[in-house]
């Protein structure tokens, strides 16, 4: 039984911490699995080009460097912390219209990923190689920010293309996603330390990428609300197994806000 978070950003896009710092941050908190998923914006749109100019996305030049560093840190995460680091990206398609904007996570094999392709084509490519596709914050995030409704508007047609839909992003649960009957997952959308207070996924499978993906597909998971408690710069456990956190347990069979 271990905590997992599959939506984390580094300073390769708009996160504050480096990839090695993220491995240490989550590893020291005894997470069993994480995925680093930096933004990879389509480069054909005006907003995508602006994101590249501002340095808040991966691009054609930085993507190979990013992938290579993830491989190196994956080995260190396992050796040092017994934590599975899954390579990923957040394909980012932003438009002026919220209903034309879409973000989705690609986990696993990243070779040949093209941010300009539609989710259906990317899904076929990724899943053929054993990867996973997750719809990121598909409904209102309850924050004053760009919303991404395009995938949710297409959810019936994407049932066989998306492996899981985020039912929580950060501290907020999405009731309409929880009631939809679609496969779900909870992530933090971590950009900086204050984002650590959030819903997390809990798994009870082996710490192997294939076992994790299978658990997500078969919905063998639970969700916990994670709130870190610091006292005098040390972490004080609220529950012995996880250490340094307060956990509010919530099974999907009885999904309610807390």
Least confident among 2-16, 207-221, 243-257: 243-257
244: pLDDT strictly greater than 80: no
pLDDT digits (tens, 9 = 90+) for 109-146: 999 999 999 999 999 999 999 999 999 999 999 888 88
CA 56 – CA 78 distance, rounded (Å) = 28
pLDDT score at 229:
74
pLDDT score at 241:
29
Second-level CATH architecture of 2-254? Alpha-Beta Barrel (3.20)
pLDDT score at 228:
80
pLDDT digits (tens, 9 = 90+) for 29-83: 999 999 999 999 999 999 999 999 999 999 999 999 999 999 999 999 999 999 9
pLDDT score at 132:
98
pLDDT score at 233:
44
Measure CA of the first residue to CA of the last residue in the chain; give whole Å: 22
Structure tokens at 165: 């839909």
Average pLDDT, the chain: 90
Q: Residue 112: what are its φ and ψ, rounded to 5°?
A: 80, 10
* Model confidence band, residue 230 (pLDDT cutoffs 50, 70, 90): low
Q: Percent of the chain beyond pLDDT 70?
A: 89
pLDDT score at 237:
32
Name 177's bridge partners: none
Please answer whether residues 94 and 45 qualify as being in contact, where contact means their C-beta atoms are separated by less than 8 angstroms: yes
pLDDT score at 72:
98
Tell me if the pTM is above 0.75: yes
What is the average per-residue pLDDT within 148-170? 97
Query: With helix as H, strand as E and coil as C, how does the chain read?
Result: CEEEEEEECCCCCCCCCCHHHHHHHHHCCCCCEEEEEEEEECCCCHHHHHHHHHCCCECCCHHHHHHHHHHHHHHHHHHHHCCEEEEEEEEEECCCCHHHCEEEEEECCCCCCCCCCCHHHHHHHHHHCCCEEEECCCCCCCCCCCCCCHHHHCCCCCCCCCCEEEEEECCEECHHHHCCCCCEEEECCECCHHHHCEEEEEECCCCCHHHHHHHHHCCCEEEEEEEECEECCEECCCCCCCCCEEEEEECHHHCCCC
pLDDT score at 235:
39
What is the average per-residue pLDDT within 183-187? 97
Please answer whether residues 87 and 77 qualify as being in contact, where contact means their C-beta atoms are separated by less than 8 angstroms: no
């Amino acid at each position: 039984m271990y905590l997992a978070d599959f939506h984390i950003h580094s300073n390769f896009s708009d996160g504050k911490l480096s990839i090695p710092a993220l491995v240490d941050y989550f590893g020291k908190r005894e997470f069993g699995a994480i995925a680093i998923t930096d933004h990879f914006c389509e480069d054909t749109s005006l907003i995508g080009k602006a994101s590249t100019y501002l340095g808040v996305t991966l691009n054609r030049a930085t993507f190979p460097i990013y992938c290579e560093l993830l491989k190196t840190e994956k080995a260190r995460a396992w050796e040092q912390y017994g934590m599975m680091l899954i390579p990923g990206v957040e394909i980012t398609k932003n438009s002026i219209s919220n209903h034309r904007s879409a973000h989705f996570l690609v986990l696993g094999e990243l070779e040949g990923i093209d941010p300009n392709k539609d989710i259906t084509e990317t899904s076929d490519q990724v899943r053929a190689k054993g990867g996973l596709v997750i719809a990121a914050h598909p409904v209102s995030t309850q924050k004053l920010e760009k919303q991404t409704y395009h995938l949710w508007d297409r959810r019936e047609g994407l049932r066989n293309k998306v492996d899981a839909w985020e039912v929580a992003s950060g501290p907020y649960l999405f009731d309409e996603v929880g009631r939809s009957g679609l496969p779900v997952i909870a992530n933090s959308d971590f950009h900086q330390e204050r984002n650590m207070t959030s819903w997390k996924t809990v798994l009870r499978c082996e710490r192997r990428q294939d076992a994790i993906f299978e658990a997500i597909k078969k919905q063998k998971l639970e969700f916990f609300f994670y709130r870190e408690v610091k006292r005098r710069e040390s972490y004080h456990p609220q529950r012995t197994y996880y250490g340094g956190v307060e956990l509010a347990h919530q099974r999907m069979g009885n999904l309610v806000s807390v």
